[in-house]
Amino acid sequence: MIEPVSPGEGMGVLHLFLTRRHDAAAAAPGAGKAVVDALEQVADTVQTHVFVGLGHKADLVVMLLDRDLVSLRRAQTTVMAAAHELFDLDWSYVSLTEGSEYTTTPEQYREQMAAKGVEGDDLERRVSEFAERMATYTANKLYPDLPAWEAMCFYPMSHRREGNDNWYALDHDERTRLMGEHGRSGRAFTGRVLQLVSGSTGIDDWEWGVTLLAHDVADLKEIVYTLRYDEASVRYAEFGPFVIGLRASPSDALELLALGGA
């Protein structure tokens, strides 16, 4: 049996984008239930999120997360073996959860506080509390347990590398400044939009996959619109296709697609 294959840190993230086959109505009775059973089986082994897509880009979106990439491959096999009569796998995206290279370190925070005149026990307490907060923040980035929020938006993106708008020609301090502005804009949506930015450089066609979860679809529209005014986006961002989905149980998803879910 193949051994587990896991990144040094973080989790694998696999998005499957399936479209309903034109001849799905002629599929054997029970084909829909087989897909439901497969999705429920997969959910017992890897973190699974199911969405029904709006528009033509996907009818069914299955998002899978696990530390073991072999487990993700087994989950994909299970889903597609059951779904092939009803769906085509038109697109997929592979990425890894990651922390941020632009996060302030405890040492940097200590210097900032000391420059403001904080010293002694007060400085040590603040640095300790900051380190704990950042450890929790990083753990949530690397090993997310995503909530069951109702609306999902996925898109891939890369940093531009053209002429004077070459992200990778900037020094680290300038990139940190730009990402700080971008981060502040995103934090304004805390509690309304959850952002999972997973890295895919060298793994898939773009550099990141961005998954946004929200209770209100309008918040997805607003956050993307707002962040596009940040200089990091205006000058240095390229975006791929956007896919919108509505969370559903496997049974409800198949029923909504008129493929039977019971």
Residues that are catalytic: 155
CB contact at 8 A, 211 and 194: no
Query: CA angle 207-227-202, nearest 5°?
Result: 5
Strands (DSSP E) along the chain, which ranges? 12-20, 47-54, 60-66, 87-97, 151-159, 161-162, 165-166, 193-199, 208-214, 237-239, 243-247
All residues at 6 or more sequence positions from 124 whose CB lies less than 8 Å from its CB, including other chains:
none
Comparing CA positions, the residue from 231, 247, 240 lying closest to residue 210 is 240
Comparing CA positions, the residue from 64, 69, 63 lying closest to residue 8 is 69
Would you call 225 helix, strand, or coil by DSSP? helix
Comparing CA positions, the residue from 11, 51, 53 lying closest to residue 149 is 51
The torsion angle over the Cα atoms of residues 222, 224, 228 and 231, rounded to 10 degrees, is 110
Q: Report the C-alpha gap between 102 and 99 in whole angstroms.
A: 9
**CA dist 56 to 168, 171, 240, Å?**
35, 41, 15
